[in-house]
Amino acid sequence: MSYNFDTTLDHRYDNSYRWVQPEGRDDFIGMGTADLDYECAPCIKEACRRVMEENTYNYRMRPDEYYDAICRFYKANYGLETDRSWFTHVPGTIVGIRIALSAFANKGDAVLMHSPAFGPLKATIELAGYRYVTNPLVYKDGRYEYDAEDFERKVRENNVKVFLLVNPHNPTGRAFTQAELESMVDICAANGVTIISDEVHSLVVFDGARHIPILAVSETARRISMQVISLSKGFNVMSIPHALYGIADPDLREKWMQEYLPYDFHYASNSYAIAVVTALLSGQADGWMAELTQYLKRNLDECLAFFSRDDIAGTAVVPEASFLVWVDLRDSGLDLDRLGAIFREEAGIDLNDGADFGPDGRGFVHINFAVTNAVLKEALSRMERVLKR
């Protein structure tokens, strides 16, 4: 491989959220927060270096190269023809989703999500004064499936105004198929529902699965949908805040702009973010991403092999995308109300308790395997002590 993913900084000492150590300990393994442990693609450093050497941080327009890179990315990866007029940017995905809710719904309206669901998105909906409604994904034979009948019933019974789609899905790792997405789109279109599609986990996709952006699904989807992407998850640039919002339909775009412009994000262009996003979407890190995906696939295969052992109490849901694995521990004999605490106390591993993803997540854990292979081996060894039947 051209890039080294086996050597990283010691994140216990660089203020990493994931690697925070309890007082008196320095041996905890961080496997919770969704970021990568690896050094970033070289083009990121070079893009930042050019901005730093200018040492001038005035108001900046976004250059043509930025928009050209965005359009190139969607065409090259998804065959989607886009236009620069579709795109605006916000410092982060969740703040943008909060703004979009104001654009497309009124306080008290129902917002639908698949469940189990990422907790901060649920909080964003409820704290902003909207009603949170769930369409549970059906867990069967180790895989989660979309329930179209329940989806349509929930939309109609609750007079849903916004469907907040997370695709690929967090925490299950599903990359929804064309048929599934068409079903969601058609039901939403028939019932006056706007779709906000959060696609932040779309850059790492495994084994023949494919990510389909909502704006690539159909003409109907382009009429009713907003598409959200951040490069943070795949390229590990969380500390360079940037999220890209795409809307094809002019009327929908006008509603968005009425809410978006007062926040002055047009002028609040972060020079580093624009340079980095331009470099990444122009393809300068495509080779790095391909090798990263290979490395993550090796780690994932090791996780899946571990949880497929007869002597290990747990069943892993095979993710189609991203670098987090969702593990069913409901038959483990462990206290399902203390799963996170058990792994911290007995294994020194800080992971995500599935209960944080709502009632449908109770009895599961969410594990970030974007660590070095050596760290993964140590973590699995510690987990074995907890999960040995």
What whole-number distance in Å separates Cα of residue 152 and Cα of residue 355? 26
Residues of the chain with CATH 3.90.1150.10: 11-41+286-387
Supply the pLDDT for residue 55. Answer: 96
Residues of the chain with CATH 3.40.640.10: 57-281
| Reported CATH class of domain 57-281 | alpha beta
pTM: 0.96
CATH number (3.30.470.20, 3.90.650.10, 3.90.1150.10, 3.40.50.300) of 11-41+286-387 reads 3.90.1150.10
Residue spans of the chain under pLDDT 50: none
Supply the pLDDT for residue 303. Answer: 98
Helix (H, G, I), strand (E, B) or coil at 48: helix
In degrees and rounded to multiples of 5, residue 368 shows phi and psi of -85, 115
The residues, any chain, with a CB within 8 Å of residue 377's CB and separated by 6 or more, are 302
What whole-number distance in Å separates Cα of residue 364 and Cα of residue 352? 9
DSSP string, 144-181: EE--HHHHHHHHHHHTEEEEEEESS-TTT-----HHHH
What count of other Cβ atoms lies within 10 Å of the Cβ of residue 55? 6
Supply the pLDDT for residue 265. Answer: 67
What whole-number distance in Å separates Cα of residue 208 and Cα of residue 222? 25
